[in-house]
Amino acid sequence: MTVCDALMAIERPPRLNLTGHALFLDLDGTLAPIAPRPQDVGPEPRRTQILTRLGAAMDGRLAVLSGRTLAEIDHILEGAVTPVAAVHGLDRRTPDGTYRPATPHPGLARAVTAFHRLAAADPQLLVEEKGLSAALHYRLAPHQEAAARALAQDLAGETGLTLQPGHMVVELRSPGPDKGDSLDDFMALPPFAGAAPVFVGDDLTDEPAFEAAVRRGGFGVLVGPVRNTAARFRLEHVDAVLDWLEAAL
C-alpha cells in the first residue's frame, strides 16, 4: 500500500449499521487510552455502558480482539463483551462463552528471563508476562528501542517464538492465529455469520484484522495519526471512537 492509499484513511467512518454490521474492537489505544504502564488501565463507566448497549442492539455481533489477556480484558471492560480474542488471537472465548485455554510455547520461559535481564539494567523498561506471550515495553525508555528490538529479534530466531512488534513494545508470542484469523473464525459463527465486519484498531498488530474485514466485504477504522494501513477510515483518538459508537445507538 502506498502513502497515497494511506491518506485515504483520513475520512471519518460512516454511521455504524446496527443490523448489518459485525463489530470488532481493539482495546488499548482504541477503547482505552494508552497508559504509561499496562496495569494503569481500568474500568470506565461510559465505555462499559456503550459496549453493553451495543452488544444488545447488535444481537451479540460484538467482539474484542486485543493483545491483553482474557482476564485483563474482562476486568477493564467489566465483562461487557463475551466473544473475545486475547493475546493477539491466541486465546479465545466464543460467543456462547466456551473457552479452551491454549498451550504456551516452551521457549517463552527463556524470553521472559532475557527480557527481565535487560529490564534489570533500566527500571523504565517494563516486562509483561501474558502466559502465551511476553512483552517488553520501552514507552518510558525510548532510548532502549534498538536494544529491545535487537534482543527480541535474536530470541525469535533462537526459540521459534513469533515476534510481534507494536507501538513502543516488542512481544514474543507462541506461534498461532493472529487478530485477522480470529475475525475470520468469529465470522463463521452465529451471530456474526452473514454480517459485514467492521474492525477498529490503532496498532500495527491490528493490520491483519483490517485486511480480514476488507476481504469479507467490510472495512477497517484506524485510530490515531495517519499512517500506511489497510483501514479505509480513521478516527482521531479514543474519545472519538466512543462518540462514534454512541452515535449509532
pTM of the model: 0.91
Q: Scan for cell 484484522, then name that residue.
A: 209
Residue in 5, 26, 202, 243 annotated catalytic = 26
CB 247 within 8 A of CB 53: no
Euclidean distance between CA atoms 74 and 80, whole angstroms: 8
Tell me which of 1-10, 129-138, 152-161 is least confident. 1-10
13-55 confidence digits (pLDDT tens):
999 999 999 999 999 999 999 998 999 999 999 999 999 999 9
Q: Is the pLDDT of residue 9 over 80?
A: no
Q: What are phi and psi of 12, to 5 degrees?
A: -70, 145
Q: Is the pLDDT of residue 7 over 80?
A: no
What CATH number labels 108-173? Answer: 3.30.70.1020
pLDDT band at 6 (very low <50, low <70, confident <90, very high): very low
pLDDT band at 1 (very low <50, low <70, confident <90, very high): very low
Residues 6 or more apart whose Cβ sits within 8 Å of residue 168: 137, 138, 139, 142, 145
Q: What are the residue ranges spanned by the domains of the chain?
A: 3-94+180-247, 108-173
In this prediction, residue 161 carries a pLDDT of 97
Q: Is the pLDDT of residue 142 over 60?
A: yes
In this prediction, residue 165 carries a pLDDT of 83
Average pLDDT, the chain: 94
- Among this protein's residues, is 26 annotated catalytic? yes
Residue 15, CB half-sphere, CA atoms under 13 Å: how many? Answer: 7
Express as a percent the part of the chain with pLDDT over 70.
96
64-115 confidence digits (pLDDT tens):
999 999 999 999 999 999 999 999 999 999 999 999 888 999 999 999 999 9
In this prediction, residue 167 carries a pLDDT of 85
Identify the CATH class of 3-94+180-247: alpha beta
Q: Is the pLDDT of residue 4 over 50?
A: no
191-246 confidence digits (pLDDT tens):
999 999 999 999 999 999 999 999 999 999 999 999 999 999 999 999 999 999 99
